[in-house]
Structure 1
Amino acid sequence: MLIKNLIFYGLLIFIPISIAARYLGWSEPIIFITAGLAIVPLAGWMGAATEEIAIVLGPSWGGLLNATFGNATELIIALIALEEGLVDVVKSSIVGSIISNLLLVLGFSMLLGGVKYREQSFQPVIARVNASAMNLAVIAILLPSAVGFTSEVVPEVTLQKLSDAVAVVLIGVYGLTLLFSMKTHTYLYDAGTAEFEDNETVDPAIASSDPAKVSQPEEAPNLILWISVLVVATLAVAVESELLVNALEPATEALGLSPLFTGVIVLPVIGNAAEHATAVTVAMKNKMDLSVSVAVGSSMQIALFVAPILVLAGWVLGQPMDLSFEALELVAVVVAVLITNSISSDGRSNWLEGTLLLATYVILGLAFYFHPITG
């Protein structure tokens, strides 16, 4: 954890560098890269502040706060991109966040955890519940796209209304998943977090998977301090995200990257960096329940909450966004969900299964990289 914290502290230097690059007229690729690097530690601070506040608020409100701010960085980036009219990039980032959590994050967690421990276990019941929720997410993005594929002429208004209705359903389901995990079936989630209730110090970043279940520290966190940190970090992420989005198109063109590859691969890695580190760290501590909760839980939140919110936000911002995706994006999500459900269904993992997830992510990444740029 010390190494991770040092890296995050070191990356804070890119905040003034990115702002200076913008106002001194440096090249767009430099602005894009420095702003992206600056967002990484800010996302970590947002996560840490959320966990500390959650400890004070208690299990119910704490769990709700964590669920709300769990993917705040990705949501901020997507909202700014949506306001700029980069709807295709926003859609790609949704797909990228889902597959990166399921394949990249969980893959690294199973690989590195499996190298240290021959076999690791986690709750198969939770894995099945998560699998069902992700299957619903696949259905939700397949059907609007299928309507467009199976009809020669589909009015944009019709597709938009369908997407709005599906978005409302998904948000309702997301609310029910919170009720399930924090109220009616909390005992299913206690098993994976009970191991934290020992004498070891709990790092706020590690607790990000479910801070509501972490044992209360001896001294309660300073609520005013951490609320201030959360507000400042959120504002800073908004500023850096605006720099990132404004430089996105010219920077990706200069770097030889397509908007599709940038949205699916690059932006999710930037927004999820703190969660990636957390999931891998707890896996290497043989806390695979928590690692799976971070990785799969984040994908569920993107699919059931962030994506619907962006659909409705597009209506408010005057930037219509529907749930009709590119064929390759649909294939990527279906493949990611299928292989993740297959590997996690038995509640056990090893390094080879982690390698399979990573190999799938690399293959999909190559497909997006070599996908021809369309007008």
Structure 2
Amino acid sequence: TLMRDTLYSIIMIVTGGLVGFSLLLGGRKFATQYMNLFGIKQYLIALFPLAIIVLVFPMALPGANFSTGQSLLVAVISAAMYGVFLLIQTKTHQRLFVYEHEGDSDDDDPHHGKPSAHSSGWHTAWLLVHLVAVIAVTKMNANPLETLLTSMNAPVAFTGFLVALLILSPEGLGALKAVLNNQVQRAMNLFFGSVLATISLTVPVVTLIAFLTGNELRFGLGAPEMVVMVASLVLCHISFSTGRTNVLNGAAHLALFAAYLMTIFA
């Protein structure tokens, strides 16, 4: 269940905690912040079906889980969805992911991306290498971590929460800095990009490893977790539907993040 718990935690930490905290901080400092709502919607369009298929739909199936064949099909769907998303983000609809007024100070930003001298194939190969390495390290450390948490009487799902925090830390810190610089579009790109990439790439790799090793994966969430996750995704759509946010949006997201914590520690 580690993959399921981690993916659920990543979705909720970002859509509830990090997004909420960022909008609250940004709203207090700038009152109202603006972004390209069409870009945010592209993330949600890709993220919503993946979250439903991977974490909700299995509970409606016999046995409340995917069969081996269904798991492999979901893995293909996840990878294909991410491929289509990358196509529009990097090739056909790049302007959807940029808020034009955020580009004024990019020249002095040492972290601003520069064109790479390597091909897309080179980057794809190294992405897969690093992804497998990260998953391998996670698997090796999962059992000792679970043993430690069990000895502390911590909930089983808390392991997924800790793994998700480790995965999200780099993007989270960068996004919070961007929000405080009134670059909320860049922050949301980092937040939602990390969620989408994690789901789309982790599901295929972990599913393939489980298939080759003969291990069974558990996909579906319980009813309370489903409700909180779907509510958080719907709230994201509502919050970003106008292209402007304030402290109320942040408070609403943090309220659902508190509900998420209840599902872990209940």
Quickly name the TM-score band, shorter chain normalised: 0.7 to 0.9
CA contact (8 A) 2:78 2:201 kept: yes
Distance 1:267 1:364 in 2: 16
Which amino acid in 2 is paired with 1:175? G
Q: Which residue of 2 aligns with 1:254?
A: 151
What is the RMSD of the two structures over their aligned residues, measured on CA atoms?
Answer: 2.9
Which amino acid in 2 is paired with 1:185? H
Q: Does 1:101 align with 2:14?
A: yes
* Change beyond 3 A, Cα 1:161–1:239: closer
Q: Which residue of 2 aligns with 1:145?
A: 59
Aligned-residue offset at 1:130: 1.8
Query: What does 1:95-244 align with in structure 2 at a 5 Å threshold?
Result: 95-141=8-54, 142-148=56-62, 154=63, 159-191=67-99, 195=103, 198-203=106-111, 207=112, 211=113, 214=114, 241=138, 244=141
Between Structure 1 and Structure 2, how many residues are aligned?
Answer: 254
CA contact (8 A) 1:110 1:349 kept: yes
Q: Does 1:280 align with 2:176?
A: yes
Which amino acid in 1 is paired with 2:92? T
Which amino acid in 2 is paired with 1:254? S
Distance 1:308 1:235 in 2: 11
Which amino acid in 2 is paired with 1:112? L
Q: SS where residue 325 of structure 1 aligns?
A: coil
1:113-149, Cα deviation, whole Å (9 max, x unpaired): 111111001111112222211221233132222113x
Q: Which residue of 1 aligns with 2:5?
A: 92
Aligned-residue offset at 1:294: 0.8
Q: SS where residue 257 of structure 1 aligns?
A: coil
Based on CA coordinates, which of the two structures has the bigger radius of gyration? 1
CA contact (8 A) 2:12 2:260 kept: no
Q: SS where residue 217 of structure 2 aligns?
A: coil
Q: Does 1:303 align with 2:199?
A: yes
* Change beyond 3 A, Cα 1:184–1:354: same
* Change beyond 3 A, Cα 1:234–1:330: closer
Aligned-residue offset at 1:309: 2.7
Distance 2:256 2:79 in 1: 29
CA contact (8 A) 2:142 2:159 kept: no
Q: Which residue of 1 aligns with 2:163?
A: 267
* Change beyond 3 A, Cα 1:303–1:191: same
* Equivalent in 345, 367, 375 of residue 263 of structure 2: 367
> Percent identity between the aligned chains?
22
Which amino acid in 2 is paired with 1:89? L
Q: SS where residue 220 of structure 2 aligns?
A: coil
Stretches of structure 2 that go unaligned for 5 or more consecutive residues are 118-126
* TM-score, normalising length: structure 2: 0.83
Aligned-residue offset at 1:330: 2.5
Which amino acid in 2 is paired with 1:100? I
Which amino acid in 2 is paired with 1:344? F
Distance 1:234 1:165 in 2: 20
CA contact (8 A) 1:122 1:347 kept: yes
Aligned-residue offset at 1:92: 0.5
Distance 1:235 1:333 in 2: 27
* Change beyond 3 A, Cα 1:197–1:281: closer
Which amino acid in 2 is paired with 1:331? V
Stretches of structure 1 that go unaligned for 5 or more consecutive residues are 1-87, 149-153, 221-229, 371-375
Aligned-residue offset at 1:343: 1.0
Distance 2:86 2:80 in 1: 10
Distance 2:231 2:75 in 1: 22
